[in-house]
């Protein structure tokens, strides 16, 4: 007599089904990309900076009759009024940076030169950092065939200028193309006879910019740093002709260095938020105070006190009023919560001796970005980087939908796990 089949109760069946749905599939760790690297190797970086135009710059490609215009938008003021400001879309920065990063990648890794904006390969290190979609990947590539995407881990925020168009209107200049043989003048865009003009942002306009590198390896934040620093250095930030343009990091006199703050956290916990400048701010010196005030012991003390914490110096400093305040203890009740240490161009926050966050500013901030940029270059010249496509294959296989990999007639026992992983 055959044994009776065991039936689970409705409760047990529900519990089993629930376990199957939520059970995550184990994903292979990655080494050459941070997409799923060991958590101990990853960190998050927030970059805040103030940059200013030094030459003719235009963002956007809209056309108003005979003039190519720069992007601008209405900004609401606290009193209910509004002003018109210049806009620098985050996508404009990202596109310029990525092209420049591709140039350095191609110089050292020619096997990836077929990857460019418009036809991303989904198989190189930059694609797995800045993102790609299977729909736009080349035919026959793993991303296309297996229908996978990768989100960018470098995030760009759109910026609005500090100054308004009411204070500094846009300039319009003619851009005429001259035929070398006939010497006839045509428009810069169509080659037809006539005059075409372009609208430019005046020199001396300031833009606060914000970026985040989320859960990245050192070389990955270095790739972003290369894009930012070299785009400023080689005047890439403009939608106009490559022969014009110009932006630079503004200078903070009391820092004797650039208006640049870099926050670094090993696990993405930032007890102090990155400084932000209100879009309604129209006074540059006042806007700059949002950066300079973010690094002084007095303002850091005030910030934590406003959160409801007790903040006091160590006993040795408290007993000597003449000693500079280079360390603060943040307490919850009488228990120490954080210890903040200040030094030249940097502060650190630790909890029970474990580093939570480091904030760099001025030249120390630029030095940090430069060190990571060199890590990016070292990564590119490392022979093992050539094996990048093979190194991510196990991860790609793990996130590929089962319908793309299972042959006809296969069971669906692991289907819920696969969907959860994807």
For 193-208, write each residue's pLDDT tens digit. Answer: 446 778 899 999 999 9
Confidence at residue 314, expressed as pLDDT on a 0 to 100 scale: 87
Residue of 352, 358, 370, 364 whose CA lies nearest to 224: 370
Over residues 150-195, the pLDDT tens digits come to: 899 999 999 999 999 999 999 887 766 666 676 665 544 444 444 6
Q: How high is the mean pLDDT of the chain?
A: 84
Q: Residue 245 above 90 pLDDT?
A: no
Q: Tell which wins on pLDDT, 210 or 24.
A: 210
What is the mean pLDDT of the segment spanning 322-348?
90
Residues in CB range of 90: below 8 A, 6 or more apart: 155, 156, 157, 158, 159
Tell me: pLDDT of 290 over 80: yes
- 419: tokens are 């969907």
Q: Within a 10 A sphere around the Cβ of 47, how many other Cβ atoms?
A: 23
The CA angle 156-278-172, to the nearest 5 degrees, is 75
Maximum Cα interatomic distance, the chain, rounded to a whole number of Å = 102
Spatial distance between the Cα atoms of 296 and 326, rounded to a whole number of angstroms: 10
C-alpha distances out from residue 411 to 16, 407, 408, Å:
18, 9, 9
pLDDT at 74 over 50: yes
Q: CB-based contacts of 329: which residues, under 8 Å, 6+ apart?
A: 311, 312, 313, 314, 336, 338, 339, 340
**Residue 273: pLDDT band with limits 50, 70, 90:** very high
What's the pLDDT score for residue 407? 40
Least confident of 71-80, 210-219, 405-414: 405-414
pTM listed for this prediction:
0.84
**Dist CA 334 CA 78 (whole Å):** 40
Domain extent listing, the chain: 50-295+345-401
Nearest CA-CA partner of 254 in 278, 285, 223: 285
Report the pLDDT value the prediction gives residue 238, as an integer from 0 to 100: 87
Region 314-329: what's the mean pLDDT? 70
Task: Report the C-alpha gap between 285 and 17 in whole angstroms.
Answer: 61
Place of tokens 């090993």: 266
Q: Which two tokens stand for residue 412?
A: 């669906």
Count CB-CB contacts under 10 A for residue 29: 13
Contact at 8 Å (CB) between 47 and 262? yes
The average pLDDT across 232-237 equals: 92
Model confidence at 324, in pLDDT bands (50, 70, 90)? low
Report the alpha-carbon distance of residue 277 to residue 285 in Å, rounded. Answer: 12
- What is the mean pLDDT of the segment spanning 372-376? 98
Give the DSSP H or E segment for 223: helix 218-233
H-only helix segments in 174-217: none
| Interval 82-133: pLDDT, tens | 999 999 999 999 999 999 999 999 999 999 999 998 888 889 999 999 999 8
- Cα separation, 203 vs 205, in Å, equals 6
Rounded distance, CA 307 to CA 196, Å?
56
Cβ(53)–Cβ(209) under 8 Å? no
Q: Per-residue DSSP letters for 136-179? A: GSPTTSHHHHHT--B--SEEE--EEEEEETTTSPPEEEE-EEE-
Judged by average pLDDT, the poorest of 184-188, 255-259, 401-405 is 184-188
Whether residue 70 contacts residue 60, with contact meaning beta carbons closer than 8 Å, is answered with yes
- Mean pLDDT on 382-407: 82
Q: What percent of the chain has pLDDT over 90?
A: 64
Looking at residue 79, its pLDDT comes to: 94
pLDDT of residue 63: 75
Q: How many CB atoms lie within 10 A of CB 147?
A: 16
Confidence band of 404 (pLDDT split at 50, 70, 90):
low
């Amino acid at each position: 007599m055959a044994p009776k089949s065991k039936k689970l109760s409705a409760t047990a069946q529900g519990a089993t089904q629930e376990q199957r749905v939520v059970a995550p599939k184990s994903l292979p760790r990655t080494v050459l990309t941070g997409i799923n690297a060991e958590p101990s190797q990853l960190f998050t970086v927030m970059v805040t900076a103030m940059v200013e135009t030094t030459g003719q710059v235009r963002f956007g490609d809209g056309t108003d009759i005979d003039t190519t215009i720069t992007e601008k938008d209405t900004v609401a003021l606290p009193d209910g009024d509004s002003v018109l400001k210049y806009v620098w879309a985050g996508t404009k920065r990202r596109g310029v940076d990525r092209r420049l990063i591709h140039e350095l990648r191609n110089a050292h890794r020619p096997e990836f030169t077929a990857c460019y904006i418009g036809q991303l390969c989904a198989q190189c290190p930059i694609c797995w950092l800045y993102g790609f979609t299977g729909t736009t990947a080349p035919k026959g590539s793993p991303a296309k065939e297996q229908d996978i995407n990768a989100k960018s881990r470098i995030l760009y925020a759109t910026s609005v200028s500090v100054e308004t168009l009411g204070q500094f209107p846009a300039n319009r200049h003619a851009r005429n193309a001259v035929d070398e043989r006939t010497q006839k003048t045509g428009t810069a865009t169509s080659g037809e006879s006539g005059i075409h003009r372009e609208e430019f942002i005046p020199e001396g306009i300031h833009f606060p910019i914000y970026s985040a590198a989320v859960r990245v390896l050192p070389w990955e934040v270095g790739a972003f740093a290369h894009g930012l620093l070299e785009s400023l250095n080689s005047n890439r930030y403009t939608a106009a002709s490559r022969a014009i343009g110009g932006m630079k990091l503004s200078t903070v006199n009391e820092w004797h260095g650039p208006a640049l703050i870099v926050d670094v956290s090993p696990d993405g916990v930032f007890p102090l938020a990155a400084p932000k400048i209100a879009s309604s701010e129209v006074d540059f010196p006042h806007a700059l105070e949002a950066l300079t005030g973010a690094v002084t012991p007095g303002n850091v003390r005030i910030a934590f006190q406003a959160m409801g914490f007790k903040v006091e110096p160590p006993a040795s400093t408290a007993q000597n009023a003449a000693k500079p305040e280079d360390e603060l203890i943040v307490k919850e009740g009488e228990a120490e919560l954080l210890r903040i240490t200040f030094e030249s161009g940097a502060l650190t926050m630790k909890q029970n001796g474990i580093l939570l966050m480091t904030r760099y500013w001025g030249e120390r901030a630029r030095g940090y970005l430069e060190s990571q940029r060199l890590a990016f270059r070292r990564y590119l010249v490392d022979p093992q980087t050539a094996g990048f496509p093979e190194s991510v294959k196990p991860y790609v296989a793990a996130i590929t939908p089962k319908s793309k990999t299972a042959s006809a007639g296969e069971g669906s026992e692991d289907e819920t796990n696969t969907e959860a992983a994807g």
